[in-house]
Structure 1
Amino acid sequence: MAVIPERRLALLGGGFSTDDDGLLDDWVLDQVPVPRPRVCFVPTASGDAPAYIERFFGAFRSRSCEPGVLRLFRRELDDDALRTFLLSQDVIYAGGGSTANMLAVWRAHGVDRLLREAFDRGTLLCGISAGANCWAEASHTDSFGPLTPLPDGLGLLSGSVCPHYGSEPGWRSSYQAAVAHRALPAGWAVEDGVGALFTGGLLTDSVTRTPQARLYRVEPGEEGGVEEQAMQCRLLVAPQQPASRMKW
């Protein structure tokens, strides 16, 4: 009897692009039960910024994994090679930048369809900021300048996503207003420092690298308000280094 792969994705409020401790990236790799997972960074939202790509390789070359990158602004793979490359990955890690531009470029190259196929095959999808927004049905974004609802996404996670919630000015109040007025469906608000894992569409783990950061469920309330529920987050702690052995 064929085993149906679990469909999993992770929303990140940090990682190699913002943090030096590597706790969230290590947590992502811990979700993949293979010795050296293949990790593909997709920096489309930043226009394939070279410095962003170098930062990814600098962070992941030293880990027990096989890092790679998908560049779409200087595409080198034909359709068959692109499909083979993406479907061979254990983790696909989308970077931050413009959510709207990223989705448009993905669709122009057919990457949106390949990401769905990878997801169905059990590849872990994850990302920060725009790279978290893209997996949901809708999101809150500054792709157009002012913060605004974006009723568009890949729809692999039901509802909406808001990054930088409570971490950057205006995101919390603006997202709550969008949910309250039904401009966005109920969803998940991710503070910087948090990671949230969804398996089969359900929240199965939530972690934080700082004691004060949280994941929130935000839903429409009565009389135009919202209901905000803080989720329990497991605190990530750096592994202790073994003490050096004294020589006498």
Structure 2
Amino acid sequence: MPPAPRIALIGGGFSDDPDTLLDDWVLSLTGAARPRVCFLPTASGDAAGYVDKFEAAFAAPGRDCEPSVLSLFRRDERDLRSFVLAQDVLYVGGGNTANLLALWRLHGLDAILRDAYHRGVLLCGISAGACCWFEACVTDSFGPPAPLADGLGLLPGAFCPHYDSEPLRHHALRDAVRDGSLPAVWALDDGAAALFTDGALGEVVARREGAGLHRIAREAEGGGVREVPTWGRVLGRH
């Protein structure tokens, strides 16, 4: 039987962090000696500099994996479904969540990713690459941060990245929960990562003390907002 469906949400990684702790944690989840890791830079418009960063990080000496890149802006003749299902990790980059979802649907990649998820391929991503897996999110795809209820729905509810580092997104999230525009939300700090298995939270890790995942919901009475943090196990400690 394939592994249980899993999604890892990353608040950092190769594009932002001065260390490899969060990306090493992602690779360790596969259990493979040399995992195949495919980067999907769709949300950035397949930005060349972003792709270069990924390739430099995952092809670096000592990083035992097989990196590749899937471009939809410069799509080649490979069979999309076969290529995606052959990966151990599908790593989605940040950028514009709304554009990412629209392009994936145009190419039929949304259905392929759903199949990969249920076949045990580890899905993961940062920012837009984490938002996309939920039913809804808080995004700046159209300007100031606002709710977007158009995700793939592999994970229930809503998500917000950069919770501790972007005040406008932080406030937009709490306002949306308070007025009912969003259901209960998972909000991830930069420097933390979270693993969901079969739709349920399994583990929270961090590359620094005080980073974690927050559950934010509207209170049943009074219309206030309740926040429950789960602080990440700090990686690299023995």
Same fold (TM over 0.5): yes
Picking from 137, 140, 144, the partner of 1:142 is 140
Map 1:59-74 → 2, pairs under 5 A: 59-62=57-60, 63-74=63-74
| Structure 1 unaligned residues grouped into runs of 5+ | 240-248
Does residue 227 of structure 1 match 2:226?
yes
- Measured in 1, the distance between the counterparts of 2:159 and 2:20 equals 23
Report how far residue 232 of structure 1 moved. 3.0
% identity of equivalent residues: 57
Instruction: Using structure 1 for the length normalisation, give the TM-score.
Output: 0.92
Q: Could you list the per-position Cα deviations for residues 189-219 of structure 1 after superposition, in whole angstroms to 9, with x for gaps in the alignment?
A: 0010010000011111101111121210111
Report how far residue 168 of structure 1 moved. 1.5
Map 1:22-101 → 2, pairs under 5 A: 22-62=20-60, 63-77=63-77, 81-101=79-99
Cα 1:4–1:229 change in 2 (3 A) is same
| Structure 2 unaligned residues grouped into runs of 5+ | none
Map 1:99-248 → 2, pairs under 5 A: 99-221=97-219, 222-237=221-236
Q: Could you list the per-position Cα deviations for residues 145-168 of structure 1 after superposition, in whole angstroms to 9, with x for gaps in the alignment?
A: 011000110000100000000211
- Measured in 1, the distance between the counterparts of 2:32 and 2:204 equals 22
Instruction: Decide whether the 8 Å contact of 2:211 with 2:231 is kept in 1.
Output: no
- Measured in 2, the distance between the counterparts of 1:225 and 1:77 equals 53
Instruction: Using structure 2 for the length normalisation, give the TM-score.
Output: 0.96
Larger Rg: 1
Q: Could you list the per-position Cα deviations for residues 41-93 of structure 1 after superposition, in whole angstroms to 9, with x for gaps in the alignment?
A: 00000000000001000000121100000000011135xx1111000000000
- Measured in 2, the distance between the counterparts of 1:77 and 1:166 equals 42
Instruction: Decide whether the 8 Å contact of 1:162 with 1:175 is kept in 2.
Output: yes
**Partner SS for 1:203:** strand
**Partner SS for 2:167:** coil
Q: Could you list the per-position Cα deviations for residues 21-50 of structure 1 after superposition, in whole angstroms to 9, with x for gaps in the alignment?
A: 011000000101110000000000000000
Instruction: Decide whether the 8 Å contact of 1:160 with 1:184 is kept in 2.
Output: yes
The root-mean-square deviation of aligned C-alpha atoms, in Å, is 1.2
Provide runs of 4+ in structure 1 moved above 6 Å: none
